[in-house]
């Protein structure tokens, strides 16, 4: 056998061995790819993504699409080495360490549950932000989410209790309840007025000392919104908080005459607070690719993601900076009418 033939044979065996090794060795990475998009003013599974009952709505057109990232991998289904290598060379994908998606302190199931909870909170925050933008009044009630075992409140306060007052003073936010408790001293008895299953009750809890030495009763709270009409959001198994801004825009579009999109295909991403502040998200590069593939020409981008987005924006996608819901609405008005300034992403 000639030296050239022997070299080719050895090289072939090495390539085969590397291929087999790469196909059977799993690596602790997650491959991120562009995920599906959903038009928030459209339908999914023949049902409206956003349904509003108890308030007049108006016809809409165009697209206000939320964008997602799909992933392959996780502690229970790690990708093989070849899959990871393909992800590294694919410009539309990203390969990240497994624990950046699945913290070592959480199981995959716990991460999924957290994503589902974040999506639910995102929908509530989006409704609150939309109503805030439209100056429609709503209220919030601090509500007990959970009670720590062996804490002073255990057996006294219960999940779903709506806290109306602390020591006789009315409260309307989680922060007010927390401040009222911390204003007391460990060992003090604190009186809570709560609504439980529609019944008003008084509960007294003896405060203990926190690690910081302040008074605590051992409850986790969340704000429960009381809206003047019902908003239902249907997005299937999409999780996480990053669709908040697009939900809020969809709600506004349905509640106001005319079309906020001007008939254009708009996509975007960003978390939202009840006050309308837009927050940064992850996977911006993959989300932009998904948006462009779905036909979007304008992409609403959280201000804190602009620098990263500019480095990976696909051709034909206009990046519009959005740091608040109000700013996003104004930008869409300017795009639709051709009047006014449209804030663009910058590298700074």
Q: Note the pLDDT tens digit of each residue in 123-143.
A: 889 999 999 999 999 998 999
Say if residue 318's pLDDT is above 80. yes
Q: What is the pLDDT of residues 154-183, one digit of tens each?
A: 999 999 999 999 999 999 888 899 999 999
So what's the pLDDT on residue 19? 47
Interval 209-242: pLDDT, tens: 998 899 999 998 888 898 999 999 988 766 668 8
> Residue 104 is encoded by which pair of tokens?
């070592």
Q: State phi, psi for 318 to the nearest 5 degrees.
A: -85, 120
* Mean local confidence (pLDDT), 250-267: 95
Q: Are strands 298-302 and 265-268 parallel, antiparallel or unpaired?
A: parallel
Q: Taking residues 35-55, what's their average pLDDT?
A: 93
Comparing C-alpha atoms, which of 293, 290, 313, 107 is closest to residue 301? 313
The answer to whether 314 and 295 are in contact (CB under 8 A) is no
**Nearest CA-CA partner of 243 in 30, 94, 37:** 37
Percent of the chain with pLDDT over 70: 80
Q: Which of 242, 254, 264, 321 is catalytic?
A: 242
Model confidence pLDDT, tens digit, residues 49-108: 999 999 999 999 999 999 998 877 766 667 667 766 776 667 777 776 767 666 666 565
Q: Report the distance separating Cα 308 and Cα 287, nearest Å.
A: 12
Q: Which of 156, 264, 287, 321 is catalytic?
A: 287
- Identify the structural domains of the chain with CATH numbers, from first to last: 32-76+111-136+230-337 (3.30.230), 139-226 (2.30.42.10)
In this prediction the pTM is: 0.78
Q: Can you read off the two tokens belonging to residue 195?
A: 């609504």
Check pLDDT > 90 for residue 246: yes
pLDDT recorded at residue 22: 45
Pick from 235, 278, 279, 263: which is nearest to 335 by CA?
263
Establish whether 46 is a catalytic residue: no
Sign of the alpha-carbon dihedral angle for 263, 264, 265, 270: negative
Q: Is 158 a residue of the active site? A: no
């Amino acid at each position: 056998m000639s030296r050239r033939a022997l070299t080719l044979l050895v090289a072939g065996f090495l390539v085969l061995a590397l291929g087999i090794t790469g196909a059977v060795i799993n690596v602790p990475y997650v491959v991120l790819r562009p995920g599906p998009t959903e038009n928030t003013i459209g339908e999914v599974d023949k049902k409206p993504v956003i349904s509003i009952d108890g308030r007049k709505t108006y016809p809409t057109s165009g697209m206000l699409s939320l964008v997602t990232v799909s992933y392959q991998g996780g502690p229970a289904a790690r990708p093989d080495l070849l899959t990871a290598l393909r992800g590294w060379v694919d410009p539309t994908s990203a390969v990240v360490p497994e624990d950046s998606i699945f913290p070592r302190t959480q199981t995959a199931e716990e991460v999924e549950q957290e994503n589902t909870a974040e999506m639910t909170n995102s929908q509530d925050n989006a409704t609150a932000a939309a109503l805030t933008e439209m100056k429609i009044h709503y209220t919030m009630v601090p509500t007990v989410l959970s009670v720590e075992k062996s804490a002073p409140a255990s057996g006294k306060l219960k999940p779903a209790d709506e806290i109306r007052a602390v020591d006789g003073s009315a409260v309307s936010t989680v922060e007010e309840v927390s401040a009222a408790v911390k204003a007391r001293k460990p060992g003090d008895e604190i009186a809570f007025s709560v609504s439980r299953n529609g019944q008003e009750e008084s509960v007294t809890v003896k405060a203990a000392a926190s690690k910081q030495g302040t008074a605590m009763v051992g409850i986790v709270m969340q704000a429960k919104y009381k809206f003047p009409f019902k908003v239902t959001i249907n997005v299937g198994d999409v999780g996480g908080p990053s669709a908040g801004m697009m939900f809020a825009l969809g709600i506004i579009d349905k509640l106001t005459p005319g079309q906020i999109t001007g008939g254009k295909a708009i996509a975007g991403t960003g978390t939202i607070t009840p006050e309308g502040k837009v927050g940064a998200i992850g996977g911006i590069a993959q989300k932009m690719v998904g948006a462009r593939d779905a036909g979007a020409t304008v992409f609403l981008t959280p201000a804190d993601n602009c620098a990263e987005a500019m480095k990976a924006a696909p051709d034909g996608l206009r990046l519009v900076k959005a740091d608040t819901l109000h700013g996003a609405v104004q930008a869409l008005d300017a795009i639709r009418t051709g009047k006014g300034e449209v804030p663009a992403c910058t590298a700074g």
